[in-house]
């Protein structure tokens, strides 16, 4: 069964460093998303991406964040200068259409120290 | 604006007894509704979805949910709990592409 894969599963980084989280969405999907879940809190929407551009973003997704689809298979989330409060589980998801169900990866646990 | 309220943060049942996880939603639009499950150290797995077809939706692993517009509810049920059902369950609303998650219900299944 096709699945969304994320790497790494766990990333530890120093405050102020740049970090890139990687995702390989399901191959025939056209919409890509990033969500995050701070420990003990809700899963929160960050950004959606379609046709090589951001289609929607939340207020969390400020100038410190960026997304890219550098080739035909990868979808990345970059955090330019990490803060302690960026520590969270980051989930990548993809969907076939804009209003169809999203399939999630297993997540990357980001720890900023 | 849309929101989701999961009425119980923890539910504990005995193996073989029914499961009820409660969810109320609000949405300005006619929403799509989902239940996702998260097992420890695993990703989010889709259990079932409602997209304005039948109001009673059947999902994987024997779960089902009923959409009740008059009550703005989308409760998740299963007739008989199994030990492997122990996990975190999220009710999710999606009037647009972005999903809005509830705060989750942790289901414990006692032997």
Confirm whether B26 is domain-assigned. Answer: yes
Confirm whether B103 is domain-assigned. Answer: no
Contacts of B88 in chain A (CB under 8 A): none
Confirm whether B20 is domain-assigned. Answer: yes
Pick B51 or A17 by higher pLDDT: A17
* pLDDT confidence of residue B95: 65
Beta bridge partners of B50: B33
Chain A residue nearest residue B9, CA to CA: A40
Contacts of A99 in chain B (CB under 8 A): 32, 51, 94, 96-97
* pLDDT confidence of residue B52: 74
Confirm whether B101 is domain-assigned. Answer: no
Whether B48 shows a pLDDT value over 80: the answer reads yes
- Cα angle at A46 between A41 and A52, to 5 degrees? 160
Among A56, A91, A105, whose Cβ lies nearest the Cβ of B98? Answer: A56
Whether B28 shows a pLDDT value over 90: the answer reads no
Number of independent structural domains in chain B: 1
Confirm whether B47 is domain-assigned. Answer: yes
Check which CATH number belongs to the domain holding B43 and give it.
Answer: 2.60.40.10
Q: How confident is the model at residue B75 (pLDDT cuts 50, 70, 90)?
A: very high
Confirm whether B100 is domain-assigned. Answer: no
Distance in Å, alpha carbon of B93 to nearest chain A alpha carbon: 11
The range of the structural domain enclosing residue B25 comes to 3-55+63-93
Confirm whether B107 is domain-assigned. Answer: no
Tell me the C-alpha distance between B96 and A1, whole Å.
26
* pLDDT confidence of residue A9: 94
Among A43, A101, A105, whose Cβ lies nearest the Cβ of B49? Answer: A101
* pLDDT confidence of residue A100: 78
pLDDT tens figures, A47-98: 999 999 999 999 999 999 999 998 878 999 999 999 999 999 999 999 988 7
Average pLDDT along chain A = 93
Confirm whether B34 is domain-assigned. Answer: yes
Q: Mean pLDDT, to the nearest integer, of B73-97?
A: 92
* pLDDT confidence of residue A98: 74
Q: How confident is the model at residue A40 (pLDDT cuts 50, 70, 90)?
A: confident
Domains of chain A: 5-9+18-96 (2.60.40.10)
Beta bridge partners of A48: A33, A56
Please compute, for residue B96, the number of CA atoms within 13 A of its CA located in the half-sphere on the CB side: 13
A106 contacts B98? CB cut-off 8 A: no
Interface of B with A (CB under 8 A): 32, 34, 36, 42-46, 49, 51, 90, 94, 96-104
Tell me the C-alpha distance between B21 and A98, whole Å.
28
Q: How confident is the model at residue B67 (pLDDT cuts 50, 70, 90)?
A: very high
Distance of CA A89 to the CA centre of its chain: 9
């Amino acid at each position: 069964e096709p699945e969304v894969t994320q790497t790494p599963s766990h990333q530890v980084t120093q405050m102020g460093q740049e970090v890139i989280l990687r995702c390989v969405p399901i191959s025939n999907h056209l919409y890509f998303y990033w969500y995050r879940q701070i420990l003990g809190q809700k899963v929160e929407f960050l950004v959606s991406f379609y046709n090589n551009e951001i289609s929607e973003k939340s207020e969390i997704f400020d100038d410190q964040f960026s997304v890219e689809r550098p080739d035909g298979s990868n979808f990345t989330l970059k955090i330019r200068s990490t803060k302690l409060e960026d520590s969270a589980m980051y989930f990548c998801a993809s969907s076939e259409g804009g209003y169809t169900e999203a399939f999630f990866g297993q997540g990357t646990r980001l720890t900023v120290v | 604006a849309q929101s989701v309220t999961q009425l119980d943060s923890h539910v504990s049942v005995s193996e073989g007894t029914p499961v009820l996880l409660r969810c109320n939603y609000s949405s300005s639009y006619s929403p799509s509704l989902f239940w996702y499950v998260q097992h420890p150290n695993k990703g989010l797995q889709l259990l079932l979805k409602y997209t304005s077809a039948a109001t009673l939706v059947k999902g994987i692993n024997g779960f089902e949910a009923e959409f009740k517009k008059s009550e703005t509810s989308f409760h998740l049920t299963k007739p008989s709990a199994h030990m492997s059902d122990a996990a975190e369950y999220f009710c999710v609303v999606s009037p647009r592409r972005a999903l809005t998650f509830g705060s989750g219900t942790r289901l414990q299944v006692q032997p």
